[in-house]
Amino acid sequence: MAKMKLGRKLLEMLFIVGLGLVSVAMLLAAQSYAAPAVRRFQMLRLRTSILGAAGVATAPAEVNGIFEARVTEARGNGATYYRVDSLVVYEFKGRGLWGPVEGVITLDSGLTRIRSVRVLVQEETPGLGDRIKDPAYLVTYQNKTALEPLVLAMRHQAVEANEVDAISGATLSSEALLVIVGDAVAQLRQAMGK
């Protein structure tokens, strides 16, 4: 009697383990099917955004060719940055309110002014914090100073060179992006030895 119960328990556990193994196998298959396409897309997206951030307009089919012709990759202090004409483009990663935030920032070659900020990956609150990815919001970073720390303009529109707008209803996400951008500028400064 006790033996039967034990056998039954074992079978049940085997069922769960088997189900888990089938699931893992299916997930591995799905991932290996998706991985090359995802990598290709990420690379293309990074290159497109580096060119776009430097103001070079491209058709999707020409991105790789133009990138290889016009962009030089440089490394310093463990970080990679890209030179396009007289601009410096840097890929940044940081922590948002809910998840990772990734994007690219463009500065002039003297690292005095931010030319543009683009957010490519974010997991902020849909409809609120996710506006940190909207170009209409990111315009607020254009031509802001890279020489002193930026601050959020909380109760008014940003006017000064060191002020950026906050998103109403998503102050924490706006703040997170501000910190990420500040860190990116500092990292880039170290990488370029300035």
The count of other CB atoms within 10 Å of the CB of residue 180 is 23
Note the helical H segments in the chain. Answer: 2-53, 63-70, 135-138, 171-192
In the complex, minimum distance from the CB of residue 95 to another protein, in angstroms, rounded to a whole number: 15
User: Which of residues 34 and 154 has its CB atom nearest to another protein in the complex?
Assistant: 34
Residues 4 to 63: which contact another protein by CB under 8 A? 11-12, 15-16, 19-20, 23, 26-27, 30-31, 33-34, 37-38, 41, 45
Please report, as residue ranges, which positions from 121 to 180 form the binding site for another protein (by CB under 8 A): 122-123, 126-128, 130, 168-169
Report the distance separating Cα 69 and Cα 151, nearest Å: 37
Distance CA 81, CA 152 (A): 27
Q: How many residues does the chain have?
A: 194
Q: How many CB atoms lie within 10 A of CB 167?
A: 21
Q: Which of residues 53-112 bind another protein (CB under 8 A)?
A: 99
Tokens of 161: 């060179």
Nearer residue to another protein within complex by CB, 91 or 130: 130
| Helices 63-70, 2-53: crossing angle, 10 deg rounding | 60
Cβ proximity to another protein, 15 vs 190, nearer residue: 15
If the CB atoms of residues 10 and 147 are measured against another protein, the closer one turns out to be 10
Binding site for another protein (CB under 8 A): 11-12, 15-16, 19-20, 23, 26-27, 30-31, 33-34, 37-38, 41, 45, 99, 122-123, 126-128, 130, 168-169
